[in-house]
Structure 1
């Protein structure tokens, strides 16, 4: 049955009912010819009812026609089409398609009803943007500008899960602690301590590889954590030594303001050495404890045999610190 025959079969009551619906409504032939449309539907194309009558949907929007044709195929296969959200001409619509079959099961027409949900979607988008901004604020350390402990915990959990799913190969974790920071705060005041932390955060970022610079976190007062995706234990120790040396150089900036040298101690652990046998964070903390209880201004790493200094690979003698 062609479009004109189908259109003629619609009685006056059907037209009146469809036209009175408070929704954008149109009736299509299976090939996309427009048998009926009300003004709400025509207005969404900036056209009049007369301009769309008995024309094919493809003339007004090839994209809409393709979506319509895909759903017609489902109807012809006897498959349902659930209501769906659709964006066209910069607006959002909630669309319902209803098939009409003949007695012998042949698809005769498709009724479309849609509601403009643009205002609702814009509010949803604004809400999601505000929520994202709020979460970013909640995951940021406002003194240094780095991500905070909450962000670190989430990212570490993400990486460890990815490794269990074989989506990541290896991960190294560095814990960094500013040596004698409490003494510095007590002697010179919190303002100087804050300046040291901000300068340290900048230094760690500046000497990090690009892929690491977004994975530096302030996890405590003077403690920082750095995640190194796809870094082996050896590579993690090498990067830790880069950080340690850079902070030594940074210390020259504070000469005259503090009497002792500015330095950091670093603990390193890798998933290649410990596949979640113990708390990954705790293992890095054990290495950091060895560094803090030793000479400070040094790097220690943890492996299956204990904690060792880097680059000398001397075993930590502080037995209570080691695994």
Structure 2
């Protein structure tokens, strides 16, 4: 019976594994040599489940002599491979390959001779025999090293490589190409003394072990490419941080060459030095260095072609659009793409008086235009509702900044979102703040016709009475006139209209819990166009999205003067003039006939004035509360929920002035997360965002109530410490540093160490905030130069 149970358990375990594997994307990796530490990062990513975590099922293929991996990548027979600097020549020969990263910043390929050969300098190579492979000797690093020492190919004899170190020891060859990470260990074990001729010692630090794929792979599935790159780099980070564990894994499971653990550790240590040669960023690659390598090849006469380096290396911050043949054909036949927008949704979308498309979204569309071979034409409509009708009638191919709703999916498909915005409630200024929208039951709330928030409200707040309005401006006017209790709309558009048309009359009284995600709606009978625009949106980096969202210069328009508001103000003024004139007339007449009652009347007037003052104070307080809510939205960082740099520049003048006038100290801490770019590149931006949140939570625990803590930008934070001198601020900074260091971020059970560097400075008389920050920045620079994870003061 127990055996039967074991059989069933094994069967179901295998079945569950197979079902899980079926849900993963199948991809292949072709290494450039037999199993060894050179490919440890890929083994680790496989064994630790880093590939599986990102939805990949990876097959690492066996190496065979004579395999043409570049051609197989070009033909689509394999998905990813590892290659050396000769990939640059392959690109010059029109192979459609794309490099994802360079693992080794300098090539491990060197030339070796024995001490017994008496070959101690490169000039002594003349007339000697070098055992090498065609691929090894094609490397720019070796050829450049020989050429710089005036050794021509005609001066040496080449011998086909046997891959047997004894041929060097037994003098069957004078020199041998080898990897610095492997062959020297074998010679050390044999007790043979040797010379190493390393190109990087002669100024030729050439990249090696590129991870690369095909243009077709990027065109068809950029998500898989990004995932494979991220998981592989995470594997390498782990392998170099856990050398002994990694060597044990390779020794046990990936060891077709029967290498010893000692040999694997030697290889790992040597390769780690090359991976972090002149950098602390794993996988770093720069076009300038690639161009220099290509120039070596041209100087040596190996190639005469040219390369577009933006097409050779993937740049995830500025991804270019790579199309399949089908997509290229489709666009060439289509000629133009028609897009409908919301004409009344500034600051995002709208038209100026000349009918030109304006708004923040125009910048996104212009980025798309630069990458597409055909134009995007904006179709003019008068309302969002008409834009929706045009989309239903196929007069538009695209619907800009559209949120996905059940109704719209009947005629549109949707790309992934590229803009997320909060929705707020606007009411008259005498309405108290509403923190729970269920309190709006049976209240008339306006929404523009066709906007997605109508579905959200109906779903989550069914007791609200929804009233459709033509435009946002129309809805706000109805609130102002008392026809509606409130209006729900997007924050930035609402804020723009409140400041320009309804200041002092309407206010933001609440915030809808559900944020709205906006992408592009694509006619649902055109799947190719959907694929193309999904690629364009996936190409948008978070930095680009943030830059455009913060770029107020994208909105270049003028509001017409509000004469209606002017007449209302004038009427109110005339009314008060008439009222007080009449009141004065009555008081004058009463003064003649009612002198005996003057004391009582005076007291009554005093009571009336006190009541009016009390009401004015209450009204003023309500207006201030409304301003405070708007400021809270404007001055808060969306990710961490602490103040942002706008708040810092708003509040700092008062703090600096108070410090100067009261002669009390004020200090500033500039905080930077160490190696944050590496964290993003290794674990992805989502993990990076979560780490920033954890750091903020830990720092908040150590700050006082009157300390000002802001996110200054990216991974930089600033803390203003009132009444703290420089020495006291250093003590606080050290507490913050320790608190962050002692709280690793946990990701799927694995600890990710987090550290911060801090620069401290104290306010000096008449100093500007910029100079105060500048001095802290110098201190921060010293902290990083001194090894990071420390505090420095200036």
TM-score (norm 1): 0.56
Q: Give the corresponding residue for 1:227.
A: 720
- Matches of 1:289 and 1:255 in 2, distance apart? 33
Higher relative CO (CA 8 A, sep ≥ 6), structure 1 or 2?
1
- Matches of 2:705 and 2:745 in 1, distance apart? 25
Whether 1:280 aligns to 2:775 is no
1:177-233 deviation line (CA, Å, top 9, x unaligned): 111111111111222111111111111111112332xx1011111111001111111
1:258-273 mapped onto 2 (5 Å cutoff): 259=752, 261-271=753-763
1:200 to 695, 710, 720: 695
Q: Give the corresponding residue for 1:88.
A: 611
1:60 offset after TM fit, Å? 6.4
Whether 1:241 aligns to 2:737 is no
CA pair 24-246 structure 1, distance change in 2 beyond 3 A: farther
Q: Give the corresponding residue for 1:217.
A: 710
1:301 offset after TM fit, Å? 0.6
Residue aligned with 1:172, SS: strand
1:147-158 mapped onto 2 (5 Å cutoff): 147-158=643-654
Q: Give the corresponding residue for 1:298.
A: 790
Q: Give the corresponding residue for 1:64.
A: 606
Whether 1:35 aligns to 2:572 is no
CA pair 254-179 structure 1, distance change in 2 beyond 3 A: farther
Residue aligned with 1:88, SS: helix
Residue aligned with 1:250, SS: coil
CA pair 204-87 structure 1, distance change in 2 beyond 3 A: same
CA pair 241-91 structure 1, distance change in 2 beyond 3 A: closer
Give yes or no for contact 2:669–2:719 (8 Å, CA) kept in 1.
yes
Residue aligned with 2:667, SS: strand
Whether 1:183 aligns to 2:678 is yes
- Matches of 1:262 and 1:188 in 2, distance apart? 13
TM-score (norm 2): 0.24
CA pair 54-152 structure 1, distance change in 2 beyond 3 A: same
- Matches of 2:793 and 2:612 in 1, distance apart? 58
Give yes or no for contact 2:757–2:784 (8 Å, CA) kept in 1.
yes
CA pair 286-255 structure 1, distance change in 2 beyond 3 A: farther
Considering fraction of residues, name the structure with more helix.
2
Give yes or no for contact 1:141–1:147 (8 Å, CA) kept in 2.
yes
- Matches of 2:593 and 2:638 in 1, distance apart? 59
1:175 offset after TM fit, Å? 0.5
Q: Which has the larger radius of gyration?
A: 2
CA pair 252-187 structure 1, distance change in 2 beyond 3 A: closer
RMSD over aligned Cα, in angstroms?
3.8
Q: Give the corresponding residue for 2:631.
A: 135
1:135 offset after TM fit, Å? 2.0
